[in-house]
Structure 1
């Protein structure tokens, strides 16, 4: 795509994420409750997830009516331009439900299957993370980069857990093996923010099983543009099986250990 058309996609993503962030921050009802559940009774959707996705898809469809859409809360449009928007209107729903600040709006634009624009809006942090493929990673107007790889035993690693009991049992076993070998482990509750934190140098690395494309599309691009490597199992891209992000030198041993520990299956 031309620079002009990529700039248009970035502008659209930034504005859609900003509007959704304002809606979620300022419109959260005091008596917010669960609107539905997905994979299990603790995998929740609130009325605000649904409202935010409607706002985002409506805004993008007005600006770019022929693009495709894929949203966590059900948006699915094929499109005819080769551009598809991958949208998580509220990443970190449980945090949001409880009034914890670590939640975000995640919007990515793909062209012919490759992510070329990513925006993660974190209203309670007052930060917007943005990246264009080949153009670097920025928080506001400031370019950021990941930390140099530390020694493995000094790495601060982020992760997350699924909502199915069987998966949690397997994930707990992996954490139990990993925790004694690293500095510490963090569980923030938003995959998009965790990936951006790798890009900003706030985490050394991150991994998680069970993520969907809308969870990692924008954040993984941000991490890559900040200098990190991303992948799934060795030789593969991030996928629902496994997503890993870390700088070169940490990425390889982390990915290898996670594969050995079976972090990619329940």
Structure 2
């Protein structure tokens, strides 16, 4: 069985996501972050991997089911696949964001998730030091989460470059 799901709770207050809690019951891992207080997994401080080179990176992505071969999502997938070390499509936006925050993944992008899929993960990723931007380098929108999150500004720039133009 492939089990990639989690319980995810985010708190939005004063115009910003402020708290994130994500629990993975299959691995008994609790990811937490409070705005300004860092990110933790089972009470251990987390930080992004520090990867700066796309050809050394492990990347994940999320896009809608049922895409066709001529979809821009497939084009983006292939562009990144050709440049990174490995590319995965795991299934849980919340866990993917936690994995970037904990250095298990170096980057992740999503273009078709709901706000509740990413809410808690945005705080966790941000508090780990990961770089989180809206799709194409725009400011991240909590209510329209089309985004890219990476371990470092250098990787974010390289990954965003691969994702743009399609």
TM-score (norm 1): 0.58
Aligned to 1:136: 38
Please say if 1:257 is aligned against 2:162: yes
Partner SS for 2:137: coil
Higher relative contact order (CA 8 A, sep 6+): 2
Task: Structure 1: state its 5+ residue gaps.
Answer: 1-98
Equivalent pairs, count: 163
* Cα pair 2:97 2:149 within 8 Å, conserved: yes
Question: What's the TM-score once normalised by structure 2's chain length?
Answer: 0.90
**Would you identify which runs of 4 or more consecutive aligned residues in structure 1 move more than 6 Å?**
none
1:236 counterpart (139, 142, 146): 139
Cα pair 2:62 2:113 within 8 Å, conserved: no
Structure 1, residues 185-219: CA drift from partner, whole Å, max 9, x if none? Answer: 01111000000000000000000111211111111
Q: Which residue of 2 aligns with 1:149?
A: 51
The structure richer in helix per residue is 1
What is the distance in 2 between the residues matched to 1:136 and 1:174?
32
Stretches of structure 2 that go unaligned for 5 or more consecutive residues are none
Deviations 1:152-195 (A, max 9, x none): 21111111220354598321121112111110101111000000
- Distance in 2 (CA, whole Å) between partners of 1:250 and 1:176 is 17
Secondary structure of the residue aligned to 1:159 is strand
Match of 1:106 in 2: 8
